[in-house]
Amino acid sequence: MRAIITATRLADELTGANPPVLLDVRWQLSLAKAAGAPAFDGRAAYAAGHIPGAVFVDLDRELAAAPGVHGRHPLPDLAEFGAAMRRAGVSSDRPVVVYDGGQGWAAARAWWLLRWTGHPDVRVLDGGLPSWRGELSTETPVPAEGDYRPAPAAAGLLDAEAAAALARAGVLLDARAGERYRGEVEPVDRVGGHIPGAVSAPTTENVGPDGRFLPAAELKDRFKALGVSDDTEVGVYCGSGVSGAHEVLALAVAGVPAALYVGSWSEWSSDPSRPVAVGADPQ
């Protein structure tokens, strides 16, 4: 299972002959700014203590472009993304391990981007920083420049039209909380509800109380109950392509390939001409 790695295994690999590049992508979806409170500061959390050797990666600035018509976290400019990864020491012939504060969403976004753009060996620390039992460091490393050059795959990425088509022809999973899917609440976007035909599949149900992924067999059973079979084409969306990446990661742990609609609900709902479904029924 190459999509995730345990803290014990990571500690062993960090002392090996070809230790992985470590990326710290601490980030939180925060509504604090709307209430006048300061937003979560991932860089400050990193400075206060991180796994030794880890390099901080800013999700909002390096793993996404500025918010706009394509959503709150649209795809980054790939030249800028590649430059950020090279600054962090990422090379094509060296494994990468990504972690965040434990939720897994931000780490999964970095995992998905690196995998979609061609890196052959990227894993997420299962359980994030809370699972790490070693010492933390406050030193900021200066890694040697990497050589990674993004080469996006033809598959694995959905736009709005492809997501709508997949909801009819395959299985499109909505990774947001159920109440947002049903349109009962919508704290961020223009309108609540879901893409017609999408199936509610909150990504929070892919992990246990400790934030670690459920066993692969349990995840496979979960997705099977949601309509995913061996020959099903599967896509995922969320609010802005972050928690959806975590669901794509969960599907990978279960052995199921899936595409991500990066624009997600923040893009879909911004266009009043697009249809919106509400309630528990997918349609």
Write down the residue that tokens 């697009």 correspond to. Answer: 274
Residue 129's φ and ψ, nearest 5 degrees, are -55, -35
Q: What does R_g of the chain's alpha carbons equal in angstroms?
A: 18
> CA 25 to CA 8: how far, in whole Å?
20
Whether residue 238 lies in the annotated active site: yes
| Catalytic residue selected from 5, 23, 238, 249 | 238
SS3 string, the chain, reads CCCEECHHHHHHHHCCCCCCEEEECCCCCCCHHHHCCCCCCHHHHHHHCECCCCEECCHHHHCCCCCECCECCCCCCHHHHHHHHHHCCCCCCCCEEEECCCCCHHHHHHHHHHHHCCCCCEEEECCCHHHCCCCCECCCCCCCCCCCCCCCCCCCEECHHHHHHHHHHCEEEECCCHHHHCCCCCCCCCCCCECCCCEECCHHHHECCCCCECCHHHHHHHHHHCCCCCCCCEEEECCCCCHHHHHHHHHHHCCCCCEEECCHHHHHCCCCCCCCECCCCCC
Please list the active-site residues. 238
